[in-house]
A and B are shown apart, each in its own frame.
Chain A
Amino acid sequence: MRFERREQRSLLLLVGAPFAAIVVALALSGILIAIAGAPVLEAYRRILIGAFGSRLSATETLTRATPLMLTGLAAAVAFRARLWNIGAEGQFYLGALAVAAFGSQLLAGLPGPILIPVLLVIGALAGMVLILIPLWLRLRFSVDEVVTSLLMNFIAVLIVSMLVDGILKDPLAFGWPQSQSVADHAMLPKLVSRSRLHIGLAIAVVLAFIIAFVQSRTVFGLQSRAAGLNPQGAVFAGVPLSRTLFKVACLSGGLAGLAGAIEVMGVRGYVTTDLSPGFGYSGIVVAMLANLNPVGVIFAALFTAIMFVGADGMSRSLGIPTYIADVTVALSLLTMVVALFFTQYRVRR
């Protein structure tokens, strides 16, 4: 048995493959649910109800999808240029931390319409700073950025832990290590009243479309794709490789930092070391599920959010551990890369 490259790919295959991947992932998780002794279809029905059954749960799902879209975009733009930024988790935390630091004290005097955009930029800049270290190590010492950007995640969370228990600690938090809250007028406006859903969702969706445009219609988009497809070839074609990677890194780190900033300004108001339930890592899955397509990221983030929010409700009623959501999402990443492989290759005996 061997694999042979497909000369042409049918539309049905291209559209059907991602859906087939999700179905297979859900079927595999179904086996795990069955082993746990719960009715499988009923479990999935309850996941859907948990994610969309009421106005509250639907807005919760969209609120959860917002940071996932941004970290998903962060991974998608980086991976497209073969820049393996696995550090979105740490960049998310630094963005959140920067917003908490500037939004609670230093800049809290500014009026809301100025303060909010300034804080969003500060959050993005904080994320950028963190990715520039692995990037510099790659360009200067040719160190693979996968491990360095991963290790930066642990360092970033420790920095957060140190500051929320130190100079940023909220004295009114009954001794809990928690940062001071950002000023009330620094909080993002709500998108839907009486819910947690904030305009961060709109920002994420708009950014996805802007990035899609940049990637398909600008010189930078072409250069970043070229840098990913064939670095040597790109250099011969006149692509400034280091500068392109620098821009890609800034974009990627900035998006992840922005995700952290928006999570603080939209939902929590303050930072703790459990602000993120792995948004940075889930972003990698979101990007891969979308096949690195920025608009696809929106839908992949929704799928992931549905699984996470829905599994909470399902877990309470059926007694299946909520970790089933993480398992399903991770499995769908693996089935997706296999499905994408079979859109490019066919099996020959």
Chain B
Amino acid sequence: MSTLIDILASAGLWAAILRIATPLIFGTLGALLSERAGVLNLGIEGVMTFGAMIGWLAVYNGVDLWTGILVAACAGALFGALHALLTVTLGLSQHVCGLGVTLFASSFSYYVFRLAVPVAGTPPTIIPFQPLEIPVLSSLPFLGQAVFTQTAPTYLAIAIALVMAYVLFRTPVGLAVRMAGENPHAAEAQGVNPMKVRYGAVIVGSALMAVGGAFLTLSAFNSFFPTMVQGRGWICIALVVFSSWRPGRALFGALLFAFFDAFQLRLQTVVEGVPYQIFLMTPYILSIAALAIMARRARVPQALMQPYRRGER
């Protein structure tokens, strides 16, 4: 019992939560935006992988870290455009196309990585983002260590969640996005082109997903290796349901999830006799449990996964 309290009282745990949550926040927000406009983007896992790879590769080749993030975002946007072309313009199955984009984006990432970086004994590294020193706040006792020792992209993720909550529910653009996801025919009648709105949401959403991936290689770690995304994209899709398609709750869900993940990592080192694989399973089991608890109550965007064809009902 006292070890549990020790774990909870350590600043390291709370710092780790924000670090673990950051890629999930980016990914969940990206998926959420896209789904709010009516498009499920299962390309997320592959887009995150590609963002992680291309962002790292750009920095490895000499650009600065923020340009690396930007490169990842642009690459993500391109994959978003591909997914939108297939699912919005052609109206193909969002499940199948998303899986196709994931398979393509992840294998393409590995291909490019292998071409650019020859096989080496130790993977090459870059100098990642360093914790941001915030005057006063970072030197607070405990709180400074626990909360204000993050790298800049973490603060960016939190800011984007707040901005997205504002834009979705308080601006005409957000209204257009929600209309495209709830009732594209009504949107059309109001003079909003649901196709364009969906394109925009999928492209911006994919860019966010790729930035989430890039966080892994540019801040959390300092190198890229295949399969490093480890199902985080799928967890984001689960978190979107958990959040009931609300950015604020998505932020909360990602933090809650990261809390359990950081907690089990520390528990692994103190609990003996339990295979470590049991601990590694918990994030996936938690995601499934979250889906089971929330799926009934969640208000799904009404036109999610329904292709919109002008003049067709």
Give the 9 A-B CB pairs with smallest separation, nearest first.
Answer: A326-B107, A321-B114, A330-B103, A330-B104, A162-B277, A323-B111, A143-B295, A158-B277, A323-B110
How close is B118's CB to chain A, nearest CB, in angstroms?
10
- List A residues 144-185 near B (Cβ within 8 Å): 144, 146-148, 150-155, 158-159, 161-162, 165-166
User: When the two chains form their complex, are residues B231 and A150 in contact, meaning their CB atoms are under 8 A apart?
Assistant: yes
Alpha-carbon distance A330/B291, docked complex (angstroms): 29
**A137 and B284 contacting across the interface, CB-CB below 8 Å:** no
Residues of A within 8 A of B (CB): 2-3, 32, 35-36, 84, 86, 133, 137, 141-144, 146-148, 150-155, 158-159, 161-162, 165-166, 281, 284-285, 288, 321, 323-324, 326-327, 329-331, 333-334, 337-338, 341
Nearest CB in chain B to that of A325: its residue: B107
* A147 & B238 in contact (Cβ 8 Å cutoff): yes
Binary per-residue interface labels of chain B (95-110) against chain A in the complex, 1 for a CB within 8 Å, 0 otherwise? 1110111011001101
The chain B residue with its CB closest to the CB of A341 is B90
Q: Tell which of B86, B96, B295 touches A288, judged by Cβ atoms closer than 8 Å.
A: B96
Contacts of A285 in B (CB 8 A): 100, 103
Q: Known: A147-B291, A285-B103, A330-B104. Is A84-B95 also a contact (CB below 8 A)?
A: yes
Contacts of B241 in A (CB 8 A): 143-144, 147
Residue of B nearest to A151 (CB): B284
On B, residues with C-beta under 8 Å from A are: 42, 86, 90-93, 95-97, 99-101, 103-104, 107-108, 110-111, 114-115, 230-231, 234-235, 237-238, 241, 275, 277-278, 280-281, 284-285, 287-288, 291-292, 295-296, 309-311
Task: Report yes or no: B111 in contact with A159, Cβ–Cβ below 8 A.
Answer: no
Question: Within the assembled complex, what's the spacing in Å between the Cα atoms of A153 and B227?
Answer: 14
Closest to A35 in B: B115
Indicate if the CB atoms of B114 and A323 lie closer than 8 Å: yes
* Docked CA distance A281–B295 (Å): 26
Given A147-B237, A330-B107, A162 and B285 touching (CB < 8 A)? no
- Please pick, from B107, B108, B234, B292, the residue contacting A150 in the complex, using a CB distance under 8 A: B234
- Residues A333 and B103 in contact, CB atoms below 8 Å apart: yes
CA of A35 to CA of B116, assembled, Å: 11
Q: Is the CB of A141 within 8 A of B296?
A: yes
A148: B residues at CB distance < 8 A:
288, 291
Residues of B within 8 A of A166 (CB): 275
Could you tell me the distance between the alpha carbons of A2 and B91 in the complex, rounded to whole angstroms? 12
Question: Is A331 a contact of B284 with CB atoms below 8 Å?
Answer: no
Q: Which residue of B lies closest to A285 (CB)?
A: B103
The reply to whether B285 and A155 form a contact with Cβ atoms under 8 Å apart is yes
5 example contacts (A-B, Cβ-Cβ < 8 A) are as follows A141-B295, A143-B288, A151-B234, A158-B281, A324-B111
Residues of B with C-beta under 8 A to A288:
96, 100
User: Measured between C-beta atoms, what is the minimum distance from B276 to chain A in Å?
Assistant: 8
Instruction: State which of A86, A151, A284, A327 has its C-beta within 8 Å of the C-beta of B104.
Output: A327
State in angstroms the CA–CA spacing of A2 and B311 once bound together: 10
CA A281 – CA B107 in complex, angstroms? 12
Known: A141-B292, A143-B295, A150-B234. A155 touches B309 (CB 8 A): no
* A151, A161, A337: the one within 8 Å of B287 (CB): A151
Closest B residue to A158 by beta carbon equals: B277
Q: A154-B231, A159-B277, A330-B104 are in contact. Are A338 and B92 (CB under 8 A)?
A: yes
Tell me the minimal C-beta distance from B119 to chain A in angstroms. Answer: 10
Q: Which residue of A lies closest to B304 (CB)?
A: A144
Query: Given the complex, which residues of A lie within 8 Å of B296, measured CB to CB?
Result: 141-142
Q: Is the interface of A mostly helix, strand, loop or mixed?
A: helix
Q: Give chain A nearest CB distance to B45 CB in angstroms.
A: 8
- Expressed in whole angstroms, the Cα–Cα distance for A326 and B103 within the complex equals 8
Q: Given A165-B275, A334-B86 in contact, is the A155-B281 Cβ separation under 8 Å?
A: yes
Interface contact B97-A334, CB-CB below 8 Å: yes
**Are A334 and B115 within 8 A (Cβ)?**
no
Known: A32-B111, A147-B238, A151-B284. 9 other contacts (CB 8 A): A147-B291, A151-B235, A159-B277, A162-B277, A330-B100, A330-B103, A337-B86, A337-B92, A338-B86
Residues of A within 8 A of B108 (CB): 32, 323, 327, 330
B310: A residues at CB distance < 8 A: 2
User: Is B103 touching A144 in the complex (CB atoms < 8 A)?
Assistant: no
Partner of B291, one of A3, A143, A154, A329: A143
Question: Considering the chains assembled together, what is the distance between the CA atoms of A285 and B238 in angstroms?
Answer: 23
Most chain-A CB neighbours within 10 Å: which of B42, B288, B296?
B288
Contacts of A150 in B (CB 8 A): 231, 234
CA of A155 to CA of B99, assembled, Å: 20
B156 → chain A closest CB, angstroms:
26
Cα separation A146 to B96 with both chains bound (whole Å): 11
Evaluate whether A137 and B288 lie within 8 angstroms (CB atoms) in the complex, with A142-B295, A327-B111 already known. Answer: yes
Nearest-Cβ distance from residue B289 to partner chain A, whole angstroms: 10
Q: Which residues of A contact B95 (CB under 8 A)?
A: 84, 146
For the complex formed, measure the closest distance between the CB of A303 and the CB atoms of chain B, giving whole angstroms: 15
Q: How far is the CB of B24 from chain A (nearest CB, A)?
A: 14
Q: A161 to B277, alpha carbons, bound, how many Å? A: 7
Within the complex, the shortest CB–CB distance from B257 to chain A, in Å, comes to 13
| Residues in chain A near residue B97, CB distance under 8 A | 334, 337
A2–B195 alpha-carbon span in the complex (Å): 12
Given that A151-B287, A155-B281, A321-B115 are contacting pairs, would A137 and B292 also be in contact in the complex, using a CB cutoff of 8 Å? yes
Query: Which residue of chain A is the closest to B296 with respect to CB atoms?
Result: A141
CA distance A321 to B110 in the complex (A): 9
- B292 touching A162, Cβ below 8 Å: no
Find chain B residues with CB under 8 A from A321 CB. 110-111, 114-115
Distance (Å) between the CB of B284 and the closest chain A CB? Answer: 4
Instruction: Write out the residue numbers on chain A whose beta carbons fall within 8 Å of the beta carbon of B284.
Output: 151-152, 154-155
CB pair B277–A147 under 8 Å, yes or no, is no
